[in-house]
Structure 1
């Protein structure tokens, strides 16, 4: 599960990057409000990467937030796009919720967390 989460997470980051910095005409449209799309994409990204790297959840959170900020900034270089702080904030909340959901999943399903986590203290 950990390896699949990592691979899918990195592929989603690549897809988000292409969809975010490409001209607006190439942006995929789901029919959902764009804030829901943004939130969902970054929540899924953070969830999968945090699930794939359970010992590095804080670093994953920082990485996904930094990616959200960088992608918003890169939109300023594309004439048909616009990076906005409000869009970044939606993505930021998505990153936090995805990371928190990964932590919760690890608590509810301990086998998910046990695969990549550091061994606990031994009891003698």
Structure 2
């Protein structure tokens, strides 16, 4: 489970990066409000990486928040995109909730905890 969570987490980060820095015309649209998309994407990212690296949850949270900040800043380089503090804050909230959900999952299901991490 830990290895799969790691792979999926890094794949999610790659997908978020492409969707965030690509021109607006290439951004996938789910039909959900964009704040929910942002929140959900970063919650999933933090959840999977924190689940994959259970002994490093704080570092994962810092990494996810730093990625959110960097991606918002990179949007300023693309003419059709815009980085906003409000968008960053939604992503930070998603990161926090995802990391907290990982911690809760580890407490509820101890097999998901840091026992077997390499």
Same fold, TM exceeding 0.5? yes
Instruction: Give matches, 1:33-72, under 5 Å.
Output: 33-72=33-72
Runs of 4+ with deviation above 4 angstroms: none
Q: Secondary structure at the match of 1:77?
A: coil
Q: Secondary structure at the match of 2:56?
A: helix
CA RMSD between the two structures: 0.9
Instruction: Give matches, 1:15-94, under 5 Å.
Output: 15-94=15-94
What's the TM-score, normalizing by structure 1? 0.93
Q: What is the total number of aligned residue pairs between the two structures?
A: 117
Extract unaligned runs of 5+ from structure 2. none
Q: Secondary structure at the match of 1:32?
A: coil
Deviations for 1:2-24, whole angstroms, at most 9, x for unmatched residues? 00000000000000000000000
User: Which 10-residue stretch deviates more, 51-60 or 108-117?
Assistant: 108-117
Provide the C-alpha distance between the structure 1 equivalents of 2:67 and 2:94, rounded to a whole number of angstroms: 12
Extract unaligned runs of 5+ from structure 1. 118-124
Question: 1:122 maps to which residue?
Answer: none
Question: 2:117 maps to which residue?
Answer: 116
Provide the C-alpha distance between the structure 2 equivalents of 1:115 and 1:27, rounded to a whole number of angstroms: 38
Tell me which structure has the larger Cα radius of gyration: 1
